[in-house]
Amino acid sequence: MWSKRMGLVGATIMAACLATPLAPAAADPAPQATAPPGMIDALERDLGISEQQAVQRLANEQRAAVAESRLSTALGSSYGGAWLNEDASKLMVATTDAAATPGIEAQGASPVVVSRSLDQLNAIKGQVDRVAERAKTGATLWYVDVASNSVVINAPTQEAGDALAAAAGVDRDLVRVQVSAEKPEPFINIIGGSAYYIGSSRCSVGFSVTRGSTPGFVTAGHCGRAGSRTTNPTGTFQGSSFPGNDYAWVAAPGNTPTPYVRGSGGALVTVRGSQQASVGASICRSGSTTGWRCGLIQQHNATVTYPQGSVYGLTRTSACAQPGDSGGSFISGSQAQGVTSGGSGNCSIGGTTYHQPVNEILGVYGLTLTTG
């Protein structure tokens, strides 16, 4: 049952959707959604914003996701990526075609003319991906940064980052090295949302899924190999990929699939779909160690080097996590985003966490996300 406050918050979000500056002059009907229980409180706590700001942010993010999807298709090869500004009041959309700016503005977004398309940036990152394992330079992370229209390499020293760029044979003007002590590692603590167990190890359930009539859930690949058995719920890993990817799915016959994620204070958050949120959007994650934590999406399509090897195509966020949270849910509004892979830092001092996008997992294994 909705609390009185949640009913008011839901109504406010619907009104905000209608008033948001992201709305074009002739927009589709505003998405009618309510904030999942506890999400407003968590956004206030973790982003340092007011209730009204959290409500407005969620409304803007709903609009932005729809506009980004529409514009990325319409712009085609000239599309350079999209991101939200700091308070999510404005969706920035990059294009290499200056003539496309009126069309971007017509969708309520702000055009940014750039030198390189997103396809070109992804191709540059792909060159880095292909050489990183054998180059062994010590770089731990690289990603496309759409806001700066460049590829960023995180490395412990400038020399290590330069070495990886040189090994990839990419134009140094297209790559920015960021010196960082960040050392991501998988969040598995041999003892991970609701918890489930693989022997004496613990990870977290990502999202409920079905394959045909078989229920189960998606989680992180580093939590178990194909054939590994789980308890609470009882199941078996049907497929698992790590490193390279960090995803798996567990068949759990005899258990009941639900469209829920455990939110703040144990409240249940209903999953409505899996539309990818924009860079700059708020995002929350649920795990069996640190519970419900929120942050912002920083980049999509990041490559992270763990001690076990590189993992490609992850999303980087400012939400914190800790060992045992691995495999747990990442959700933006009511839209499933991914499962917790790993990161750096913790929830005491703050940290960076990466998730494996859920739509890739669903596609690889032919799964259907359980929604409400």
Query: Which of the residues 222, 264, 318, 334 is marked catalytic?
Result: 222
How many other C-beta atoms are found inside a 10 Å radius of the C-beta of residue 226? Answer: 13
Residue 14 exposed, middle or buried by CB count within 10 Å (0-12, 13-18, 19+): middle
Known catalytic residue: 300?
no
Residue 256 exposed, middle or buried by CB count within 10 Å (0-12, 13-18, 19+): exposed
Known catalytic residue: 119?
no
- CA 2 to chain CA mean position, Å: 27
Q: How many residues are present in the chain?
A: 372
Helix, strand, coil abundance in the chain, percent, nearest 5: 30, 35, 35
Sign of the C-alpha dihedral computed for residues 216, 212, 362 and 209 taken in this order: negative
Beta bridge partners of 310: 305
CA distance 290 to 280: 23
List Cβ neighbours of 322 (8 Å cut-off, separation of 6 or more).
187, 189, 287, 289, 290, 346, 347
List Cβ neighbours of 123 (8 Å cut-off, separation of 6 or more).
none
- CA 46 to chain CA mean position, Å: 16
Query: Which of the residues 78, 246, 300, 334 is marked catalytic?
Result: 246
CA distance 80 to 320: 29
List Cβ neighbours of 303 (8 Å cut-off, separation of 6 or more).
125, 128, 129, 132, 141, 142, 143, 310, 311, 312, 313, 314
CA distance 327 to 177: 30
List Cβ neighbours of 369 (8 Å cut-off, separation of 6 or more).
207, 208, 209, 271, 273, 274, 336, 358, 362
Query: Which of the residues 150, 204, 286, 326 is marked catalytic?
Result: 326
List Cβ neighbours of 337 (8 Å cut-off, separation of 6 or more).
274, 276, 277, 283, 315, 330, 331, 355, 357, 358
Known catalytic residue: 246?
yes
How many other C-beta atoms are found inside a 10 Å radius of the C-beta of residue 48? Answer: 8
> Which positions are annotated as active-site residues?
222, 246, 326
